[in-house]
Structure 1
Amino acid sequence: MSQAELGRNAHVTASYVWRLENGTVSPGIDLVARLATALGTTTHDLMPTTASPDTLAILSNRARELLDALLVAADRETLLMLNPLLAQLVAAAERRR
């Protein structure tokens, strides 16, 4: 079933289904019920039964992998764009502390 089909059957947009799949939004219980119906399953089957993993650690590891891959493949122009961006991200993170 495509995201568009699931969205149509659950009365949400395909982009919302995409955000659900990527963990950027969480559905309310009423939407979980509609998703379960659209998928031909139960709400119980859609609910996690174990604790969620440490998302910060997962995101940190993924960022490190991506940055390492970028540094291996980057040319001068890419690095000229990347360094100011990284500096801004570091400064923003430090301000939030």
Structure 2
Amino acid sequence: MRNRRSNHRQSTLRATLDAADALESEIRAARTALQSADFGTTDAEDALDTAMRDLLNRRLWLQSHAATASTETLESRLAEMQDAILRMRQFSAR
């Protein structure tokens, strides 16, 4: 039972780190699309800057707390990042 919990925690942590990478890719893709379309607005650029800062804060939190965070906390962080990825995809689709 203990081994199963450990495996679940490790897989959740991996998924959270993968989601951080995916979110960063989405932000960079949105920025590239915005720049190549020459459609950049200050509001859109500010939103992407905010998203990148938020991602950095999430990565710093993971670096500082991943080793001691509960599986439930990691699952919550994963869900937050998955939501952010969806929002970024919606932003890019505009």
TM superposition score category, shorter chain reference: 0.3 to 0.5
Higher-Rg member (1/2): 1
TM-score by length of 2: 0.35
TM-score by length of 1: 0.34
- Structure whose residues are more often helix by fraction: 2
